[in-house]
Amino acid sequence: MKKSGLKTVYLRFCVTILGLTLISCQSPPAGLKIGTLLPISGDLSSYGASMQNTAQLLVTTVNACGGVLGNPVTLFSEDDQTEPAAGAAAMTKLAEVNRVAAVVGGASSAVSNATVLIAVRNQVVQISPSSTSPSFTERARKGEFKGFWFRTAPPDTFQAKAIAQLAYKRGVRSLAVLAVNNDYGSGLINAFIPAFQALGGKVLNAETPTRFDPRAASFDSEVRQAASPRPDAVLLVSYPETGSIILRTAFELGVLGQNTQWIATDGLKDQRLAELVGKSKDRKYIVAGLEGTAAHAAGNAFKDFRDRFVQAYKTEPAIYDPNTWDAMALTVLAAESAKSLTGTGIRDHLRTVSNPPGEAVTDVCQGLDLLRKGKKINYQGASGTVDLNQQGDVVGSYDIWQIQPNGSIKILETLEIKH
């Protein structure tokens, strides 16, 4: 049969009359389908939009250099709203309706915890750019994820050591914890308490850490509770929206600064934080001088990524954008390496393209070209080397950041954490 005849038969097949209803069908995209599950709204929305832009930029870049296995990559995007229930519904749609092979996200550990088994059940790779709870390492070690879970940000077992070192360097010997009541908060404080104690520090509320509901209208009681033992410092584990309210509350209650330092985690490293908290009566930023930690993101591919991002969006990339770029890059490279558009193929080749041996590459298009020629590669990312271990984790060093008098964030130094 001629091609024109086949086309006519196909069109007739794809338009079926059922009673009075016309149902038209379209052929699905032939290439690799990737989903993003990111917080476009909610407490992490200040990160999510930029992470989504990063994912789209990677797809645009890859499609401009030939796509994957000779076809363009298609991106399906969902807003997890920084809420586990919304994330679970969105992951179900991506896996069962859009039929993606891999999902980049979620951003928060709470959302990833609610979605990862949905991905596993559907044999979809889930690779998070920023879910840092140590619980995923333990669950992966037990075999719960069947190898479908990965992340390009190191787990908080490493950040906990960095925070402990920062606090001790600043003369903190007694500390109280104030943490968001979710997987991120629980995982980080559970790792931090023994790390700080190992240095000789004392966590005054170690038995009953102060936790807060991010949906609460105010946080006066939680701030008072954390500050009441008069610690040298309060460790705040939070996100920008609620964290800014807590810091403003601490200032108004007279327990921010002076005799009580506050130390922040990666979830608060937001260029808008000083503006969100506001200024004092003398027009100075309330949180000027606040210090915290965040995973160091300056891999061999960072400059190229940053240049592309600035050219595309006329602004600097945000904290977890390099990790998002790497998560997307590893996904397309693994699919090309596996010669497969399935989640199982990507799962089985993620370490092949991320770890030695292989030719070191920092450019995703160069990596795809080498793979097409049958060569082995070792992708060196924007966030770091992104070598993946058997639990799907990467390791990393940590920056100490500080809010400057003008409200900007400056990196003071980088700590090398022994793992």
Give yes or no on whether 33-154+299-379 and 157-297+397-415 have one common fold: yes
Mind listing the pLDDT tens digit for each residue in 6-23?
444 334 434 333 333 333
- Tokens 């000027």 belong to 288
Please list, in sequence order, all residues whose beta carbon lies within 8 angstroms of the beta carbon of residue 391, skipping any fewer than 6 positions away: 136, 137, 140, 141
Regarding the domain delimited by 157-297+397-415, which CATH topology (the fold level of the hierarchy) does it fall under?
Rossmann fold (3.40.50)
Question: What tokens does 95 get?
Answer: 């896996």
Mind listing the pLDDT tens digit for each residue in 158-211?
999 999 999 999 999 999 999 999 999 999 999 999 999 999 999 999 999 999
pLDDT at 83 exceeding the cut of 70: yes
How many residues appear in the chain? Answer: 419
Regarding the domain delimited by 33-154+299-379, which CATH topology (the fold level of the hierarchy) does it fall under?
Rossmann fold (3.40.50)
pLDDT of the residue at 298? 82
pTM of the predicted protein model: 0.83
CA contacts within 13 A on the Cβ side of 79: 11
End-to-end CA distance of the chain: 64
Domain regions of the chain by residue span: 33-154+299-379, 157-297+397-415
Find the mean pLDDT for residues 80-97: 97
Whole-number Å distance between alpha carbons of 164 and 168: 6
Question: What tokens does 168 get?
Answer: 């001790």
Identify the band that residue 128 occupies on the pLDDT scale cut at 50, 70 and 90.
Answer: very high
Whole-number Å distance between alpha carbons of 222 and 275: 23
Whole-number Å distance between alpha carbons of 200 and 328: 41
Identify the band that residue 419 occupies on the pLDDT scale cut at 50, 70 and 90.
Answer: low
Question: What tokens does 291 get?
Answer: 């210090």
